[in-house]
Chains A and B, each alone.
Chain A
Amino acid sequence: MNAAIEVHQLEKTFSGGSRATGGTKALDGLSFAVEEASVFGLLGPNGAGKTTAIRVLTTTLVPDSGRAAVLGRDVITDAQAVRSSIGLAGQYAAVDENLTGAENLRMVGYLNHLPRNMARRRADDLLEQFHLSDAAKRTLKTYSGGMRRRLDVAAALVARPPVLFLDEPTTGLDPQSRNDLWEVIEGLVGSGTTVLLTTQYLEEADRLAQKIAVVDHGKVIAEGTSAQLKADLGATVLEIELADPIVAGRTAELLKGVATKPPAVIGRSVDIPVDDGARVPMEALRILDQHGVAPTSFSLREPSLDDVFLSLTGRKASTEGENQ
């Protein structure tokens, strides 16, 4: 199988960070490869370097060192060739407020050097596909946040690029629009498009991505299918809810012995990766009872990507609707 995107040991330090560290190291030896006609998910906490990686791959940022290629073309030395085979929807919708939805898409078509009539047709088709036909003739100023986001993603598709970069494409979309976009992406991959997407929603990576790389501090700290990543973590997660965060911390401390990976405290609940079977939960309850800790709830569940993330980075992935 061919790699549509290859990333090798990318490094990038932004000047202007703290003086002591000599800037912010956004990429620190980032490497991964994306198979043709697949979805690859980049997961990582805020500031992990996801957007920086996408900027390097879409030729808008030159790395300090390392190499990256899209469809075999080097992003630095052969940038113009790379640009004609990619589509980009950045983290923040890059649309012209003063143009209508149709005009925005046509402009991108023209600048991709599509013939006029084809650009026009593609614009109309995409507006329909993204349920924006009714708003096609309105300027973007009158669009809601989610409509802008959809138009921005549509703009990335105008030239039917074989490789697509989507930086948090569904942030700010309602569940219906999110589902629609997932279907669009699945359709594209079915017809041979390669997609690299970053997301804060683990559910999204779980559903769409054949392969996931967890990124933290500018490098990949875990990589695999979502099933592999979950399997690495342990068979089951014991989720215990306590009266308050202090007791939760104490519980994590008490149950360290039964866990397969360090327990994670989130507010007043504790997630503990454990082995399958009834022995461990019973033991856990006994320990808690001995120490007079009374859980408000106690349950076993399948590990989610959230757990993977938490155990790898020690932090929770961004919670839906929450900004940090």
Chain B
Amino acid sequence: MPRRIKPLDVYRLLPKLNCGKCGEPTCMVFATKLIERQTTLDKCRPLFEDPRFRENLRKLMELLRPPVKEVTIGVEPNAVKVGGKDVVYRHEWTWRNPTAIALDVHDGMGDEEVERRIKFVNEWFYERIEKRLGIDLLAVRCVSGSAERFVKFVEKVCKLTSKPLIVCTLDPATLEEVLKRIGSRRPLIYAATERNWREFADLAVKWSCPLVVSAPNDLSKLKSLVVSIVKNFGYEELVLDPGTLVSNGGFLDTISNFTALRYSAIEFGEREVGFPLMAIPATVWIFESGGTEELEFREAIIACSLVARYADILVMHSLSPWVYMAVLCLRDCLYTDPRVPPSVKPGLYEVGKPTPESPLVVTCNYALTVSLVRGDLEKSGIDAWLLVIDTEGTSVASAVAGKRFTADKIAEAVKELKLEEKVKHRSLVIPGYAAKIAGELEDLLPGWRVFVGPRESSDLPKFIREIWSKEVLGKA
């Protein structure tokens, strides 16, 4: 089981000055927030400034270090953090630092293609529950074999984007030239292998850049490389590439390797493998054959599976929105807090382009329910007003039972939002699960008609077309 630190263990080691410099009223509050990963240790200045706390500081750093190290790529304000994982299973505690997605470009690509890709990285997004999800990183590959050409290319890319980079070359001389120009941007270096690890580690240390350690499908070699770098260079800004195999069997070996590494790091406290994991679904494009869409499809499946199985970084090659929609959507879902039912802001929402003649549908603010209701209405082409009541993120059925979905709340919202000005028909549809509050609601809203709709939102379109329309608008 993952180790869960107690606030008291942290508190014991803090300066106990209650001076508030950390931005928290007391050391105890600070301790609690540290554990919840809502603040960072460096905020407690006395701890760093007073030599008397040195030993405690060391202990605190040790105590608070997540079993999977957190590694930063790039510099603020565009830095991307990866890893920092505390648990294997997301139901135990929120997975932190969503898998960072990288798109590749290389120095053999035509200008147009490069610009298209960078534009995609810079601008494309997929909107989900009021969030804009997009590509996080750019992986720059050296295919020309020429350091000079590659450096020029990397510099050009840097001018076109502020996203952090992954510099991909296996040649130390090329890497050195690149770092001389853009080392201060703190790119992630790909990759130290059994052939070049000494030079690569040396350069990573010199430029203080995070480094990928790579050994495809050989975890002992991977671990050996990590140990060699940590022991010889004292450097721990590492990311692991255990290899992403994409053939049917190889793909399963890869999933299994990712799982094993994460288990070792978290459940068994094996420091040597406690680093972020990088997956490269882009390998599909060299090892599999097929049309563009087929390869994109396959890459998406591999990427999604590895998002669910512990990848902290993905390098991809596809350039189609539907591929990234699936990957980002899954990532966004899996990286939510398992304890908090996700909720949407209460209020009035528009589905399609509603008019004063459109139905007014009431529901809870459980994000999933809202999505479903909205989806079902949209699917059947019904424009509607959607009144979302604050039920603290619970579903209608439990909110009715727990008195969070009440006639009072609905009536209040109707008045406050002046809904009588929005809809001419003065009627609203409440969910079937809330049937028992219908009477009370009619009493509270004189002049309004309350319809008890179906329990399932999938039946809502039919209800609106066949019952509500007939009763209210006089036509089915």
Question: Do they bind each other?
Answer: no
Q: Which residues of A contact B (CB under 8 A)?
A: none
Q: Which residues of B contact A (CB under 8 A)?
A: none
